[in-house]
Amino acid sequence: MIHEPLHPGIIVKEVCVENTGLTVGEAAERLGVDRTTFSRLINGHASISPDMAVRLSMALNTTSVMWMNLQRDYDLCKAEKNKRKLRVRKISSAA
């Protein structure tokens, strides 16, 4: 059974807040973002944007690609879970 990936915000919360002892506001300030923006991310209500991925990579000595991959994997897993609800018909080339 394939496990469902965590929302990337949960990982950000663990790395930036829980493991550092910083408050949400302090972590947001260090990232150069508004507290509300950061709070939405770490509570799973917002996605990691390319801008946030760059900020996280700079603050945490990681890569922006890593953060974007986490977001992509999470989004794709959600889309795959919901694909039965989609109304899609096959497209074939003209003969």
Say what the pLDDT of residue 93 is: 87
Domain boundaries, position 38: 8-78
Tokens of 32: 């150069």
Q: For residue 71, is it within any domain?
A: yes
pTM tops 0.75: yes
Q: For residue 16, is it within any domain?
A: yes
Q: For residue 2, is it within any domain?
A: no
Query: What is the 8-class DSSP label of residue 72?
Result: H
CATH (domain of 39)? 1.10.260.40
Average pLDDT for consecutive 10-residue bins of the chain (95 residues)? 85 98 98 99 98 99 99 96 90 82
